[in-house]
Chains A and B, each alone.
Chain A
Amino acid sequence: MAMDEKKSYNPVRPKQSPASRKPHAVESKYWKTFSTKVIEQQISAVSCTSFCPEPPHDFAVTSSTRVTIYDGKTCKVKKTISRFSDVAYSGVFRPDGKLVVAGGEMGIIQVFDMNSRLVLRQLKGHSRAVHWVQYHPSDKLHVLSGSDDSTVRWWDVPTQTEVLKLEGHTDYVRCGSANSSSADIWATGSYDHTVNLWDLRTSNAVLKLQHEKPLEDVLFFPAGGLIATAGGNVVNIWDILGGGRLLHSLSSHQKTVTCLCITPPMKAHPAENVDAERLLTGSLDGHIRVFDISDFKVVHASKYDAPILSMDLSRAMSTMVVGASDGKLFIRQKKKAAISEEDDRKDPHSVIYEPPKLETVLRPSNYRYFLRGRNEKARRVKLSEYDRYLRKFQYKDALQSSLKTADPTIILAVMEELIRRQGLISAVTNLDSSSLELLLQFLRRYLTLPKYSRILVPFAHKVIDKCAGDFSLSPSIVHQVAALRDKVEGELKLQEALQSLQGLIQPLLQASVR
């Protein structure tokens, strides 16, 4: 209730419409910010993709007989390790990112130096192919491997010796996961439909989980209390602390789920108040689904045109790599990857509650105190071009300059301002051909959007009435008009289809009420 006089021109404000309330839409919007940057063709199926936990989050891609290291920022090939005599599997980084370990069809586990690509150590002992190998998450000295000879082995890397041989599986061991909360607990999944939890201190399986399908991937949740197991088209969530109780069974995939991935706690929307992890599942049906782990509901799904074998997300949530069975490697990166990585390091609250910068108060002790205000200019609000035209009552120019912004919220706001001034009709009469083309382009694009159509449909009628004589000016305008007509026809068909659908649904709804 301010009593003061308002003196300055009020600039046109973009016409904001509220965001959709569905949380799914917010999620989808978030996941869609990962735009496909590169699609690399590998030699054959991409069996493993893995990010380095350390920035700049390089990633290793295992395909055929080589492990390729990509740069985490530019997504270009950095190095290629091809010292394999047979197919390589499971090329992963040591947590500090200096070494890479990989299994292989030969049953030999090799440790490479990242810089020189030299083979530093070879761990021999498995009699058959090693499909899964992983470094200990906290110490840099041990790896655990699972092999097709149905054993799981615990290796000391510097001495190249086998410390433990864990027997308990009866079929190929193809996957495993380290518990990040307690370093001695590991889970491995096997084609014998069981997941074994190993305590390396006792070298015994402390828990067996029956998945009832051959296991393709297992994953501990960051808190360590839950484990997700993927086998067949089912993903099961187990409560480990509760003695291996099955919590959820997610069967939203059509085909075998091949890979699991969990994000760090995140917010899909900056205003969302709860951080929650998301579980990503990739499947041979070519879908990646995102689950909210608070209620295990699908919040987003995306489709790839090939069966998915592997995927991984960078720790900073800026890059996502998906490997497919036909050798395609999809590298998707957020557009503002660099910025968001920096944001990640900061506490999100610190951005909002940044203390205001204290302006240094000039005091008479300072020389500048006596010069103050000499070079000051009256601070002017910078007006946009359309605002400047509106101030001068040049309605046609205002409309044209707003059309050049190509932002529908601005164009609509300028149009509403013109309507309030009774100047919209005069603004569209006698347009030159280039701006008429812009206008038609804009109409074609936004005419059928429900939130704009109330203004735009009668406006389009008026435009066509007023400008019908100018349509023959240039072939591109003719083209635009034809495109507009096609769009309207398409929309009419859609409306008809929707109406008949509504007719079908309405009796059902009314019956359900009673």
Chain B
Amino acid sequence: MRVRGGLSFTSYPPAFSADGNLMLVCSGSTVSVFSVATGLLAYELEGHSAPVTSIHVVKYNGVTKPAINHAWTSSLDATIRLWNFTTCSVIKTVNVGKPIHSMVVPNFSELGATISQKQCICLLLVEHSKDDHKPKKIKESSNTSDGDKEHPQSGPCFRVVSYNMTSGKPLSGHLAQVSRPALLICSQPGHLVGIVDNRKLWIWRVTKESIEHSASFQKIMLHHTKPLKSLAFDPTETLVAASDSSGRVLIWKNIGEHSYHSSENIKGSLKSKNALELDSNRGARGNDDAAALSTYHWHSDQVNFLMFSLEGAYLFSGGNEAVLVMWQLETGKKSFLPRLGSSILYMSRSPDASIISVTCADNSIKLINCGTMTVERSIKGIKPFVTLPRKLRSMDLKTVASQPGTRVLVLPTEDISLQFYDVLNDRPIGEIEVNVHNYISSKEKGWKSSHSEPFYGKLVFISHVVFARDGLSMATVECSCGEDNIARGSCLKFWRQDVAFSNFVLSTEIHDPHQSEISSLAFHPNINLAVSCCHIGDFKVWVYDKDRKDIASHISWRCRSVGSYRQKSMRCVDFSDDGTLLAVSADESITLWNPFTNSLVHVLARSMGNVVRSLSFVPSTNYLVAASEGERAELTVWNLETLSICWSYHLTVEALRVDPRGPHFSVLSMVKKPIKKKGEHRVAKAVITVFDVNSPVPQALWNVQDAEDSDILWLDASCLSDEANEKDERRDHERSFLVFLNRQREYIVFDPFKGISEELLKKSFDISEEKGTSTFESVYGKANDVAYSKPPIIATNNVAQSDVKIFNCPSHLISLRSVGLSYIESLLERQTVLAQ
């Protein structure tokens, strides 16, 4: 059983269907079709093998064909597909040969009768490498570092080309070349196409001849002094609105009067109307072909998207302030829809004039009624990754957790909330606001200069989410960067599950529990007890105070005791499975405490060791796993019976997670440090390894690309497979599944004990066999060799485990009856396996 999910809806703008009842959303390599009326996912169009970049819904002018829903989609896999999205079938696939970043389909139908209805031309923004003839050389140069110096501009550039989709052939030549990918925008009637390129706008008018030649597109350019961010055409095709990085909205009027003079399409009435109010070329820059330029300024930060309303009277703008502004162009009046929660990325019009959709950066699409300026419905996806400052990375962060006993992942969001995300159904269940606050766009000027290391994330963020084993208690830690080191610190909050409403209620809020930020947090497995530690050098034991529950509803956890070990910095804590031992790391050693008496039991010291970064007890065994960082980073397994090291590896561990059921643990380790290259996506290769604590031989390995800021988690199989997979064996219920969650918040849930490596090699994950040799491979041999891949081996493993369980206690304690029963059970189990 394998589950994938958690895609971003907000990478590219969505589109409405022609009747306005459906909305098509680019979500990774699929197109998700949502119902506008309910906001729920209707179905998905699967076919592309790389992210879908744009959707164009085909409109049949004049003829009403409500039953036919056709849409073109373009994708980074270099294909354009025509879909019938009521039947979910591909009608046509056109291979362009280059990754397509944006696509628009201009409208030729009104231009003349010479073109048949089926003739279809589109404009594409394709990735175009400079030396197209020698693609191999490019790859080499990107691999080696000195190749950079030889080709300083070897990064990709982007060209606007026109393409005949009917014949599947490109038209000769290209229209423009831009430095970075931007959206191609087409006007509503479909005769103007534009793109933003740094400080200028390219605008083309479609003519009859442009079906044949690219050169016959009539081109004008408009210039500005600041980098432009977006543009929009009004429905009459006389106005162009553009926004710049300082938040200004510029509107050029009567564009292209000179260039398009010969064109008969500009209606005389419009021209005269605009001519009344305008002198010639007032405000427009240089030789720009526009009659006038006017500026509107309200936004304090950059405007990400502009859009005219369906009839052209209003202009919508939205940016990082999370405020949707509706400008009435004639009077300059504004109306606002504030507090949308996150910065606005895209908007799109519905054929129904009152509805627009607004795509927000928190992976949600909001359907807005612009008559009442209210949010009618919102489509939410998994919340995007929250960037944390570098200096906090050395802590034992626990930003993602799984709610015990459920199939719910708990993810922190940018607005200091927690999102509860159903892994199996791939949809959010709910949210908890950890810190009630107002959304403030974070890019302010004083912030960059005051810190040596620029950090563009949020200033307050959730660094830890931890659940008690029974799932009734939750603890969260918010860290605050403060302003100029004022109010730096963290806030520890304990939550209690309200069983009646199945949500969490804040029970205790502790401001500044430690002198510095909390570095780790753990719950006792059986009783209401929690431990937090701080790298300044102390840990605190928190207890739940039942007697005081009724005194003040907010205070029910209190600090019972404080401990420290030689003023050493404490980075991680964990409780043993039975709760009798508490392990706290102290620099390079690990201290073991009795949590009830607060007495130091033992210190596991490494003379040559590095700072321990994370540690964990392995349930139902006597082992402790610790991972250290630094020059000689290590993964160490301690035997707590003999207080000695069982085995260890030199391995840089990013994440260490222990199977809550059994003797297995998984490790996410970086193979290569992420290399930053100019203009190139940085790629950090990593390996997920599953170990059995009893042996240093890895049980299974997976190569993962782009694993930075990823996380792995164990989920209980019983809660995953209850409805979905009845055909799965009973054995599955006694097993845990592994979740891999990457920075883009895509996840995959899989059974780590099955040979699924070849199935994993798919799509966006790029879990692929690694070429070349690395130190890691020299340790393990070739990666991707699944050590225990076949079910029979696992079965025998099970038997062996149950044998161990029988004889796990001293001989005088074994009752003959229990031995007999469990022995027979183990035999029975083996037989069922054999039968299968």
B202 to chain A, nearest CB (A): 36
B560 to chain A, nearest CB (A): 11
Q: How far is the CA of A271 from the CA of B483 in the complex (A)?
A: 38
Proximity bits, A200-236, B CB within 8 Å = 1, else 0: 0000000000000000000000000000000000000
Binds A, one of B122-130, B551-559, B663-671: B551-559
Q: How far is the CA of A145 from the CA of B558 in the complex (A)?
A: 55
B454 at the A/B interface (Cβ < 8 Å)? Answer: no
Binds A, one of B16-24, B242-250, B261-269, B436-444: B436-444
B672 to chain A, nearest CB (A): 36
Question: Is A6 a contact partner of B551 (Cβ separation < 8 A)?
Answer: no
Question: Is A21 a contact partner of B548 (Cβ separation < 8 A)?
Answer: yes
Question: Is A18 a contact partner of B552 (Cβ separation < 8 A)?
Answer: yes
Beyond A1-B502, A18-B554, A21-B558, whether A455 also contacts B486 by CB under 8 A is yes
Residues of chain B with a CB closer than 8 A to A422's CB: 444, 446-447, 459, 483
Proximity bits, B547-583, A CB within 8 Å = 1, else 0: 0101110110010000000000000000000000000
Binds B, one of A60-68, A127-135, A188-196, A413-421: A413-421
Binds A, one of B312-320, B427-435, B522-530: B427-435
Q: How far is the CA of A18 from the CA of B542 in the complex (A)?
A: 15
Contacts between the two chains (Cβ within 8 Å), count: 87
Question: Is A419 a contact partner of B551 (Cβ separation < 8 A)?
Answer: no
Question: Is B483 a contact partner of A1 (Cβ separation < 8 A)?
Answer: no
Beyond A1-B503, A15-B511, A422-B444, whether A271 also contacts B487 by CB under 8 A is no
A510 to chain B, nearest CB (A): 13
B460 at the A/B interface (Cβ < 8 Å)? Answer: yes
Question: Is B431 a contact partner of A1 (Cβ separation < 8 A)?
Answer: yes
Beyond A1-B420, A1-B429, whether A10 also contacts B482 by CB under 8 A is no
Q: Which one of A9, A21, A272 contacts B438 once the chains associate, using CB atoms below 8 Å?
A: A9
Proximity bits, A11-40, B CB within 8 Å = 1, else 0: 001011111010000000000000000000
Q: How far is the CA of A18 from the CA of B512 in the complex (A)?
A: 13
Proximity bits, B498-527, A CB within 8 Å = 1, else 0: 000011100000011000000000000000
B373 to chain A, nearest CB (A): 11
B489 at the A/B interface (Cβ < 8 Å)? Answer: yes
Chain B residue at minimum C-beta to C-beta distance from A451: B511
Question: Is A5 a contact partner of B430 (Cβ separation < 8 A)?
Answer: no
Question: Is A19 a contact partner of B552 (Cβ separation < 8 A)?
Answer: yes
A366 at the A/B interface (Cβ < 8 Å)? Answer: no
Question: Is A9 a contact partner of B486 (Cβ separation < 8 A)?
Answer: no
Chain B residue at minimum C-beta to C-beta distance from A272: B551
B334 at the A/B interface (Cβ < 8 Å)? Answer: no
Q: How far is the CA of A455 from the CA of B375 in the complex (A)?
A: 38
Residues of chain A with a CB closer than 8 A to B548's CB: 21
Q: How far is the CA of A417 from the CA of B487 in the complex (A)?
A: 11
A498 at the A/B interface (Cβ < 8 Å)? Answer: no
Beyond A21-B558, A455-B487, whether A425 also contacts B552 by CB under 8 A is no
B25 to chain A, nearest CB (A): 19
Question: Is A10 a contact partner of B429 (Cβ separation < 8 A)?
Answer: no
Residues of chain A with a CB closer than 8 A to B485's CB: 458
Chain A residue at minimum C-beta to C-beta distance from B340: A5
Interface centre among B548, B551, B555 (most CB of A within 10 A): B551
B180 at the A/B interface (Cβ < 8 Å)? Answer: no
Question: Is A5 a contact partner of B378 (Cβ separation < 8 A)?
Answer: yes
B199 to chain A, nearest CB (A): 29
Question: Is A273 a contact partner of B444 (Cβ separation < 8 A)?
Answer: no
A462 at the A/B interface (Cβ < 8 Å)? Answer: yes
Q: Could you tell me which residues of chain B, from 355 to 412, have a CB within 8 Å of some CB in chain A?
A: 375, 378
Q: How far is the CA of A3 from the CA of B444 in the complex (A)?
A: 30
Task: Tally A residues with Cβ within 8 Å of B.
Answer: 39
Q: Which one of A269, A421, A462 contacts B484 once the chains associate, using CB atoms below 8 Å?
A: A462
Residues of chain B with a CB closer than 8 A to A390's CB: 438
Beyond A6-B339, A10-B436, A21-B558, whether A269 also contacts B551 by CB under 8 A is yes
Q: How far is the CA of A506 from the CA of B484 in the complex (A)?
A: 35
Beyond A3-B430, A269-B551, A422-B459, whether A9 also contacts B339 by CB under 8 A is yes
Residues of chain B with a CB closer than 8 A to A415's CB: 487
Proximity bits, A424-435, B CB within 8 Å = 1, else 0: 111000000000
Q: How far is the CA of A6 from the CA of B417 in the complex (A)?
A: 13
Q: How far is the CA of A446 from the CA of B783 in the complex (A)?
A: 61
Q: How far is the CA of A271 from the CA of B14 in the complex (A)?
A: 55
Question: Is B339 a contact partner of A7 (Cβ separation < 8 A)?
Answer: yes
B302 at the A/B interface (Cβ < 8 Å)? Answer: no
Q: Could you tell me which residues of chain A, from 160 to 185, have a CB within 8 Å of some CB in chain B?
A: none
Chain B residue at minimum C-beta to C-beta distance from A15: B511
B463 at the A/B interface (Cβ < 8 Å)? Answer: no
Question: Is A13 a contact partner of B486 (Cβ separation < 8 A)?
Answer: no
Beyond A9-B339, A420-B440, A455-B487, whether A2 also contacts B552 by CB under 8 A is no
Q: How far is the CA of A293 from the CA of B341 in the complex (A)?
A: 56
A294 to chain B, nearest CB (A): 15
Q: How far is the CA of A198 from the CA of B551 in the complex (A)?
A: 44
Q: Could you tell me which residues of chain A, from 242 to 286, have a CB within 8 Å of some CB in chain B?
A: 269, 271-273
A454 at the A/B interface (Cβ < 8 Å)? Answer: yes
A381 to chain B, nearest CB (A): 13
Chain A residue at minimum C-beta to C-beta distance from B486: A458
Proximity bits, A51-78, B CB within 8 Å = 1, else 0: 0000000000000000000000000000
Residues of chain A with a CB closer than 8 A to B502's CB: 1
Beyond A10-B438, A422-B444, whether A19 also contacts B339 by CB under 8 A is no
Residues of chain A with a CB closer than 8 A to B437's CB: 10, 417, 420
Chain B residue at minimum C-beta to C-beta distance from A387: B438
Q: How far is the CA of A426 from the CA of B484 in the complex (A)?
A: 12
B187 at the A/B interface (Cβ < 8 Å)? Answer: no
Question: Is B431 a contact partner of A454 (Cβ separation < 8 A)?
Answer: no
Chain B residue at minimum C-beta to C-beta distance from A16: B554
B616 at the A/B interface (Cβ < 8 Å)? Answer: no
B480 at the A/B interface (Cβ < 8 Å)? Answer: yes
Q: Could you tell me which residues of chain B, from 689 to 722, have a CB within 8 Å of some CB in chain A?
A: none
A459 at the A/B interface (Cβ < 8 Å)? Answer: yes
Beyond A18-B554, A269-B551, whether A454 also contacts B444 by CB under 8 A is no
Q: Could you tell me which residues of chain B, from 258 to 291, have a CB within 8 Å of some CB in chain A?
A: none
Question: Is A419 a contact partner of B482 (Cβ separation < 8 A)?
Answer: yes
Residues of chain A with a CB closer than 8 A to B489's CB: 454
B627 to chain A, nearest CB (A): 32
Q: Could you tell me which residues of chain B, from 75 to 92, have a CB within 8 Å of some CB in chain A?
A: none
Beyond A271-B550, A425-B446, A426-B446, whether A5 also contacts B483 by CB under 8 A is no
Residues of chain B with a CB closer than 8 A to A15's CB: 511
Question: Is B431 a contact partner of A3 (Cβ separation < 8 A)?
Answer: yes
Question: Is B550 a contact partner of A13 (Cβ separation < 8 A)?
Answer: no
Question: Is B446 a contact partner of A273 (Cβ separation < 8 A)?
Answer: no
Question: Is B486 a contact partner of A17 (Cβ separation < 8 A)?
Answer: no
A410 to chain B, nearest CB (A): 15
B590 to chain A, nearest CB (A): 22
Chain B residue at minimum C-beta to C-beta distance from A457: B486
Residues of chain B with a CB closer than 8 A to A271's CB: 550-552
Q: How far is the CA of A30 from the CA of B65 in the complex (A)?
A: 79
A418 to chain B, nearest CB (A): 8
B297 to chain A, nearest CB (A): 16
Question: Is B430 a contact partner of A2 (Cβ separation < 8 A)?
Answer: yes
Residues of chain A with a CB closer than 8 A to B378's CB: 5
Residues of chain B with a CB closer than 8 A to A7's CB: 339, 375
Q: How far is the CA of A16 from the CA of B508 in the complex (A)?
A: 11
A-B contact sample (7 more), CB < 8 A, given A1-B431, A3-B431, A454-B489: A7-B375, A10-B438, A271-B551, A419-B486, A421-B440, A454-B487, A454-B512
22 chain-A/chain-B pairs, Cβ below 8 angstroms: A1-B431, A1-B432, A1-B503, A5-B375, A5-B378, A10-B436, A15-B511, A18-B554, A19-B555, A21-B558, A269-B551, A418-B483, A419-B487, A420-B460, A420-B480, A421-B440, A422-B444, A422-B483, A423-B483, A454-B489, A458-B486, A459-B486
Which A-B residue pairs are the 4 nearest by beta carbons? A1-B430, A271-B551, A1-B503, A419-B483
Binding site for A on B (CB under 8 A): 339, 341, 375, 378, 420, 429-433, 436-438, 440, 444, 446-447, 459-460, 480, 482-487, 489, 502-504, 511-512, 548, 550-552, 554-555, 558
